[in-house]
Amino acid sequence: MHIDWWTLGLQTVNALVLIWLLGRFLFQPVADAIAGRQKEAAQMLADAKAAKAAAEGERTKAEAEAARLADHRAEAFKAVEAEAAAAKSALLAKAQAEADKLVASAKVQIENDRRAEAHAADARSAELAVDIAAKLLNRLPPDARISGFMDGIAAGVRKLPEETRAALGAEGNPIRLTAASTVSPAEEGAFRESLSKVLGHAVAVDISVDPTLIAGIELAAPEAAVRNSFRADLARLQSELVHHDTDNA
Amino acid sequence: MIHSPLETSTLFRVGPVGVTEPVVVTWAIMGALVVFAAVVTRKLQPIPLRAQTLLEITVSAVDDQIRGTMQVEPGPYRAFIGTLFVFILVANWSSLIPGVEPPTAHIETDAAFAALVFCATIVFGVRSRGLLGYLATFTEPTFLMIPLNIVEQFTRIFSLILRLFGNIMSGVFIGAIVLSLAGLLVPIPFMALDVLTGAIQAYIFSVLAMVFIGAAVAGETQETSANQVGK
């Protein structure tokens, strides 16, 4: 076997040159690129870890904030509930008071209505009684409607004050009498005589007829009025009946 | 016509220097590798394309092998080991090109690379341990082993030369014989086998180079391991 030493030398030089060239153009740039990428990946990983840690922190903060909001909401809900309960109680109390007031007012109204009804019923009853009495008394004979009533007029005039009695029929002014039926001249004279005796001076009388008196006589003068008739009695009786029932109610 | 693989044909002469075919093929392979590497690495992309990916896979594989075999960081040894592997691989596979005889099928090329491994072992060993430290490795495990350790330095280099030369040359020789005897398509299985053999021989040559250099820089290995444990 023959070894070409020139070839051996040239191949050695070639190998050295190739080692330098590939180290310069292949291995070093590629290794640098790989190292750079690994460094960049490591940096990205570190950034990702940092971002993850930051995100974890943010999540913890968010959870704490959520818990705080939940507590705040619960407290606000309790406050609203308490406020609603208070408002409910106040509304219920107010409604109860208004209801009580309405009930009391209704009771008063009902009582007033009942009283008014009772009063009206009493009035109607009294009116009915007076009507009944008037109809019954209308059956009296005409002479019975006057006789006997003059004494009452005389007693009434006697009870008047002295000054009033002195003024009645003075200076020739006739005393106006109203009778329930026509008065005979005898009865007119009896009336004049009776009044003159009671008043102490002679008087003249002017007699008019009013059937609505039912029975009796009434004296009407500017100074005084004396009534002694069934109409006046029935009116007084009706008034007393009505007032008596109203007072009793 | 079959040339003897033990002979090198001189293509031309430059003065007294005869430029043989293995040298010219080596220049062609060198040119192709450097141009390809320069073109691809001229503009490296953050997201690598196919060619860049191929180079990155190659560099990463070389680095992993250096770390695994020598137990050191690959930086100082990457270019040397990587060039050995890449050139021997491409040279072995150059036999697939019709009419091209791989440079590694000639003993001068294998001897040149083995001589570089021998020198690299000494250089890296001295740089790592110092001259006395490196010489002290010949006394291990005892002084009695000094002659054997010295002889081993040469015998393993010869072993390196002959292993690569024998495997590649025999592949080329067998292919030529089969081609001359059987015809055009019959050598194809043998060529496929040569592809596998070429890759394995490139790997073995590189790994043995790493083992030799790693044994020479074992002190650095221990120191590096201690630093890594310390970290």
Q: Is residue A131 part of a domain?
A: no
- Work out the pLDDT band at B226, boundaries 50, 70, 90: very low
Which of A2, A15, A37 lies at the smallest CB-CB distance from B112?
A15
Are B86 and B199 within 8 A, CB to CB? no
In a domain, A147, yes or no: yes
Chain B environment of A37 (Cβ under 8 Å): 46
pLDDT digits (tens, 9 = 90+) for B105-133: 998 999 999 999 999 999 999 998 899 98
pLDDT at A220: 83
Task: Say whether both A110 and A56 belong to one domain.
Answer: yes
Which residues of chain A are modeled with pLDDT < 70?
1, 244-249
- Secondary structure of residue A182 in the 3-state scheme: coil
CA–CA–CA angle A58, A64, A69 (5° rounding): 120
**Distance of alpha carbon B12 from alpha carbon B14, whole angstroms:** 7
How much is the pLDDT for A96?
Answer: 94
Q: How many CA atoms lie within 13 A of B120 on its CB side?
A: 27
Same domain, residue pair A110 and A1: yes
Q: Are residues A105 and A153 in the same domain?
A: no
Query: How confident is the model at residue A136, as a pLDDT?
Result: 81
Q: Residue B112: which of A8, A27, A29 has the nearest Cβ?
A: A8
Q: What is the pLDDT of residue A154?
A: 85
Shortest Cα–Cα distance, B213 to chain A (Å): 16
pLDDT at A100: 94
**Residue B20 to residues A109, B9, B43, B101, Cα–Cα distance (Å):** 143, 6, 36, 12
Q: Which of A2, A3, A6 sits opposite B18 (nearest CB)?
A: A6
Would A122 be classed as within a structural domain?
Answer: no
B5 vs B205, more confident: B205
Q: Are residues A109 and A142 in the same domain?
A: no
Please tell me the predicted confidence (pLDDT) of residue B223.
Answer: 46
Tell me how close the Cα of B140 comes to any Cα of chain A, in angstroms: 31
Identify the CATH number of the domain in which residue A224 sits.
Answer: 3.30.2320
Count of structural domains within chain A: 2
Q: What is the pLDDT of residue B78?
A: 92
Rounded-to-integer distance, Cα B125 and Cα B140, Å: 15
Residues with Cβ < 8 Å from A226, sequence gap 6 or more? A153, A156, A157, A160, A218, A219
**Domain finish residue from A114, A147, A175:** A114
In a domain, A82, yes or no: yes
**A80 shares a domain with A46:** yes
**Residue A13 and residue A151: Cα distance in Å, rounded?**
184
Do A152 and A71 fall within a single domain? no
Show the domain range for A66.
Answer: 1-114
Question: Could you tell me if A83 and A146 lie in one domain?
Answer: no
Burial class (CB in 10 A: 0-12, 13-18, 19+), B138: middle
**Are A1 and A95 found together in one domain?**
yes
Residue of A nearest to B46 (CA): A37
Interface touch A29/B63, C-beta < 8 Å: no
Q: Do A212 and A164 share a domain, yes or no?
A: yes
Residue A177 lies in a domain: yes
pLDDT band at B181 (very low <50, low <70, confident <90, very high): confident
The first and second tokens of residue B93, run together, are 């596979």
pLDDT tens, position by position, B10-46: 888 888 888 888 999 999 999 999 999 999 888 888 7
Same domain, A82 and A26: yes
Which residues in chain B are closer than 8 Å to A1, comparing Cβ atoms? 6, 107
Give the residue from B115, B122, B6 showing the smallest Cα distance to A8.
B115
Are A153 and A64 within one domain? no
